[in-house]
Chain A
Amino acid sequence: MDSTHLFPVPMRRPLAEAWDAGPEQFARSRPSGWCPGCGCEGVVEALAKAFAGLGAANKDILVAAGPGCANALPDSLLTYGVKAPAGLALSVGLGAKFANPDLTVVAVVGRSEALGSGCVALAGACRVNADITFIMLDDGLGAKPDERQAHAGALALAAGATFVGRAFSGEPAHAASMFLQALQHRGFSFVHLLCPCPGKDGLDASVRLRGRLRMREETASKTASSGPPVGPAAPGERSTASPGDLGAVLSACLETAPLTLGVLHEAADVPSWEESAPTVRRRGPAVRESLGLSEKEVSELEASLR
């Protein structure tokens, strides 16, 4: 039997045929192992809502998670997952996307990885603008005593990310909306998710953080708060950056008080990797290619070497 065509990867279920799935179809109900009050629970909830909102099938979603608390995410989601070691989650996600552009790929890593061992991969992914959503779980607004505060959004923006947003795990509804917008963006989307760690910063870390947050007007009006209110958008108090004004967006990314939540930057007119890669444009997803060479190709190749 010709094994060349065995086990082809099925086509993606079109979003137009979105099945009537709720968030519960994407999240497992088993214990996760995270600390009580951990923001990662909110991440699962928000991601599940976003997947449901996207209308994607479980089989067409891949979540690649880095080490640390993010590592338990694939266990909590009913999608394909990868629990990658330090520095590899985004590269693995990229490779999967390159091989099968039909997949919805999400990479979730902690701040240490995004700004450390995974930083090179992050810059590379921004550059190629592959249609991937990258979520950086920022567990501390306080950098370590011997570190300066890093501005991850500014880093992604400078590297060429075509979507930069910020959300808060304590606001899963808003975070879900942010994730959904990031997933729907055609190109590389970077979401800076503020996700306080109760284990390190105490159970009141989320409450303390809330006081420093301000919602962008347009997103604030779309989402409902599920806890003590995040500060409303107030003229003069928050960034007035509009998408496309990179200087103002950069300022918004660099602000620390208040921290603006919402879509900080979106360049919708930049072709994604999938839209511009010659192989994909010419031949379609690599994963659906027949393997091996045809007789004609063999003859041509041999002739070219003689």
Chain B
Amino acid sequence: MNLDLWVLGRRSEGVRLMGSVLLRLLSRSGLHARAWEPPRSGIPSERMVLRLSTGPERILAVPSGCGFLVAFDEEAVLDKASDVSGVILFDPDRAKVPAGTLRRHAVSVGLSSTGLRLAPGRWNMAALGGLARLAGLDTGLLDAVIREVRASEASESVAEDLLAAKAGFEAAGAAAPLAGLRLPRSDRKLLALSGAEALSLGALAAGCKFAAVGPASADSRALAWLEPRAAEYGVVLHHAPDDAGAVGAAIGAGHAGCRGLAVVEDSAGAARAMAFAEEAEIPVVVAALGGSCAAPGAAVPSGACRAVLVPTGPADVLDTVVEAFNLAERFQAPVFIMLDDSLTGGTETVSRIRLDASIDRGVWAPAHPSCAPGNPSPPYDRYSMTGNGVSPRAVPGHEGLCFAAVGAALSKLAAKRRSLGKGIVPLLVEGPTDAELTLVGSGSACSAMRHAMRHFNAGGQGRVNVLALRCLEPFQAEEALAPLKSARKMLLIEPGPSDSLSRLIRAETGVSIERRFSDPEGRPMDADALIRAVDEALHG
């Protein structure tokens, strides 16, 4: 049995904190979970929604249904109460549930701030306690998680949190039998990982020692996990005045021999800097955030020699970041990582992550033997032509190898582009090869595609398989053609309305996929709507 939860309130009311505690509580209880919150502006009074689904099996998509609602105020009740199939947790001091609003079998549980004598701003903790009681979760574990998550706060503040959670837990006791929900706990060791955390962790695992973020709040949030830990791990963090400046600084760090990351929202604004890195053969990794950037067609112009990688989920973000740094240094080229909103705003439980990554720094020029202070100009050609287009690299500080980063010949970049393409796994095919329907997509859509595949292949049926494109540049048309041509029917899943992935596939392979499913707002794929779309495609 799964719990599908919506939390509606204002950012300043601690909605996000509630989500952090809840995800950790669920993963510690051995339950799988997936949560999503839309991009935020950072304004404290901003309304926000947290959607979370949890259960004993891996959650691959967040359903649109609302089993439980935590409503911080009247507006939240009016917005969502009529959709709730299970329980509404609300504060009777701030909201009323109008008569006739509730669906049949749904119940409302009031946790009054004044009745429970909560300290100001602690209703979120009371709601957590109430939720834990209704879902049959361990109150001792809840206390431990609150202590950990709030470790940086004053002890008096944490004590108030614990009291509020306990009050909520006890107050919800009477309603527990009505809720009819008891999540099965297990001893599985899971951990909760968001796309943004994975970006930071991947950077640490890859040995990134310089990170620049653009001015947009989304850019900063993406490295929010890393920021307080940067000095501890030897990472220089730079807040650039604009996205081009962030990429420029990361290029400078790369030119100096440091693994540099730029996190930007406006990938188009950073395109010129990326083109320079490409021509001057400077390794750099750029994480492009936002929107439904499933394909680079709209936001990122293709170049002579760059890689564009699209991870499919938080754990894959971590691995992709490590891969991106290795590719960047091995091929001395810029690497884009496209992260759509569902990835950066999403969290899921995973069984393990890999932080002990192997690091490949590529080929470097040896210090010149004849180099001496009086002979600073030995014959070193930074852009010498080689078979694979990759020439030995030097960085400022290396004796006797001074050069000006100018730009390689196009023929050299073309040779390198071919080598780069061979160094990347371009796509993943999952499921039976002779399926009736092939779901084609990239980025966060892949998780929803796997959800649909699991649904339709249940009971041993092999009706659906998945083709996940993970490298969009250089596009490996030959590798993609085989599964595309052998597919009996295809359904293209795109997170947004741009149609860019469809156009890219058509341009690169000549294969046109007529059936499409997308969310025009770029939100996470609605699992129920996707199931309907797949069902229609199977029967159409």
Q: Give the interface of A toward B (CB within 8 A).
A: 3-4, 6-7, 9-10, 12-13, 19, 21, 25, 28, 57-62, 64, 74-75, 78-88, 90-100, 102-103, 120-121, 123-124, 128, 277-280, 282-283, 286-287, 289-293, 295, 297-298, 301-302, 305-306
Minimal Cβ-Cβ distance residue in B for A120: B241
Minimal Cβ-Cβ distance residue in B for A127: B241
9 tightest Cβ-Cβ pairs between the two chains A and B: A95-B252, A291-B207, A91-B248, A95-B249, A81-B404, A99-B258, A74-B404, A124-B241, A99-B253
Contact present for B360 and A99 (CB under 8 Å): no
Q: Does B459 interact with chain A (Cβ within 8 Å)?
A: no
What B residues does A12 contact at CB under 8 A? Answer: 397
Contact present for A91 and B244 (CB under 8 Å): yes
What A residues does B360 contact at CB under 8 A? Answer: 3
Please measure, in the bound complex, the distance between the C-alpha atom of A64 and the C-alpha atom of B256, giving whole angstroms: 12
Q: Does B127 interact with chain A (Cβ within 8 Å)?
A: no
Contact present for A88 and B404 (CB under 8 Å): no
Minimal Cβ-Cβ distance residue in A for B255: A96
Contact present for B245 and A96 (CB under 8 Å): no
Q: Give the interface of B toward A (CB within 8 A).
A: 24, 27-28, 189-193, 197, 201, 204-207, 209-210, 212, 230-238, 240-242, 244-260, 272-273, 275-276, 280, 353, 355-361, 364, 367, 373-374, 376-377, 395-407
What B residues does A61 contact at CB under 8 A? Answer: 396
**Smallest distance from the beta carbon of A140 to chain B beta carbons, Å?**
26
Contact present for B258 and A4 (CB under 8 Å): no
Please measure, in the bound complex, the distance between the C-alpha atom of A278 and the C-alpha atom of B52, giving whole angstroms: 37
Please measure, in the bound complex, the distance between the C-alpha atom of A60 and the C-alpha atom of B273, giving whole angstroms: 24
Q: Given A75-B404, A286-B253, A287-B257 in contact, is the A25-B376 Cβ separation under 8 Å?
A: yes
Contact of B376 among A59, A83, A94 (CB under 8 A): A59
What are 18 of the A-B contact pairs (CB < 8 Å)? A9-B256, A9-B395, A59-B376, A61-B396, A75-B404, A82-B280, A91-B244, A95-B250, A96-B256, A98-B236, A99-B258, A100-B257, A286-B253, A289-B234, A292-B357, A302-B355, A305-B197, A305-B353
Contact present for A96 and B252 (CB under 8 Å): yes
Please measure, in the bound complex, the distance between the C-alpha atom of A82 and the C-alpha atom of B249, giving whole angstroms: 13
Please measure, in the bound complex, the distance between the C-alpha atom of A21 and the C-alpha atom of B374, giving whole angstroms: 8
Contact present for A4 and B207 (CB under 8 Å): yes
**Smallest distance from the beta carbon of B400 to chain A beta carbons, Å?**
7
- Residue from B234, B364, B377, B399 having most chain A Cβ neighbours under 10 A: B234
**Smallest distance from the beta carbon of A75 to chain B beta carbons, Å?**
6
Minimal Cβ-Cβ distance residue in B for A91: B248
- Residue from B204, B205, B252, B260 having most chain A Cβ neighbours under 10 A: B252
Contact of A62 among B244, B256, B376, B407 (CB under 8 A): B256
Contact present for B272 and A3 (CB under 8 Å): no
Total CB contacts across the A-B interface at under 8 A? 241
Contact of B359 among A3, A62, A80, A102 (CB under 8 A): A3
Q: Given A10-B397, A75-B404, A286-B258 in contact, is the A19-B361 Cβ separation under 8 Å?
A: no
What B residues does A80 contact at CB under 8 A? Answer: 395-396, 402-404
- Residue from B254, B364, B376 having most chain A Cβ neighbours under 10 A: B376
What A residues does B254 contact at CB under 8 A? Answer: 95
**Smallest distance from the beta carbon of A113 to chain B beta carbons, Å?**
12
Please measure, in the bound complex, the distance between the C-alpha atom of A289 and the C-alpha atom of B207, giving whole angstroms: 9
Q: Given A91-B249, A96-B252, A96-B255 in contact, is the A287-B397 Cβ separation under 8 Å?
A: yes
Q: Given A25-B376, A292-B359 in contact, is the A9-B257 Cβ separation under 8 Å?
A: yes
Contact present for A88 and B255 (CB under 8 Å): no
Contact present for B191 and A305 (CB under 8 Å): yes
Contact present for B255 and A95 (CB under 8 Å): yes
Contact of B364 among A6, A13, A292 (CB under 8 A): A6
What A residues does B212 contact at CB under 8 A? Answer: 95
Contact present for A100 and B406 (CB under 8 Å): no
Please measure, in the bound complex, the distance between the C-alpha atom of A272 and the C-alpha atom of B193, giving whole angstroms: 37
What A residues does B257 contact at CB under 8 A? Answer: 7, 9, 99-100, 287
What A residues does B404 contact at CB under 8 A? Answer: 74-75, 80-83
Please measure, in the bound complex, the distance between the C-alpha atom of A128 and the C-alpha atom of B245, giving whole angstroms: 14
Q: Given A3-B361, A59-B396, A293-B355 in contact, is the A98-B238 Cβ separation under 8 Å?
A: yes
Contact present for A121 and B245 (CB under 8 Å): yes
Contact present for A279 and B236 (CB under 8 Å): yes
**Smallest distance from the beta carbon of A305 to chain B beta carbons, Å?**
4
- Residue from B233, B242, B355, B401 having most chain A Cβ neighbours under 10 A: B355
What would 4 more interface pairs be, CB under 8 Å, given A83-B407, A94-B252, A305-B191? A80-B402, A95-B254, A99-B252, A298-B356
Contact of A88 among B207, B244, B260 (CB under 8 A): B244
Please measure, in the bound complex, the distance between the C-alpha atom of A301 and the C-alpha atom of B248, giving whole angstroms: 30
What A residues does B405 contact at CB under 8 A? Answer: 81-83
What A residues does B252 contact at CB under 8 A? Answer: 64, 82, 91-99
- Residue from A28, A86, A90, A286 having most chain B Cβ neighbours under 10 A: A286
What B residues does A87 contact at CB under 8 A? Answer: 244, 248, 272
Contact present for B359 and A4 (CB under 8 Å): yes
Please measure, in the bound complex, the distance between the C-alpha atom of A37 and the C-alpha atom of B355, giving whole angstroms: 58
- Residue from A74, A81, A102, A293 having most chain B Cβ neighbours under 10 A: A293
**Smallest distance from the beta carbon of B155 to chain A beta carbons, Å?**
20
Contact present for B236 and A301 (CB under 8 Å): no
Minimal Cβ-Cβ distance residue in B for A57: B373
What B residues does A102 contact at CB under 8 A? Answer: 397
What B residues does A103 contact at CB under 8 A? Answer: 256, 396-397
What A residues does B256 contact at CB under 8 A? Answer: 9, 62, 95-97, 99-100, 103, 287
Contact present for B377 and A98 (CB under 8 Å): no
Contact present for B240 and A91 (CB under 8 Å): yes
Contact present for B248 and A95 (CB under 8 Å): yes
**Smallest distance from the beta carbon of A297 to chain B beta carbons, Å?**
7
Please measure, in the bound complex, the distance between the C-alpha atom of A295 and the C-alpha atom of B242, giving whole angstroms: 36
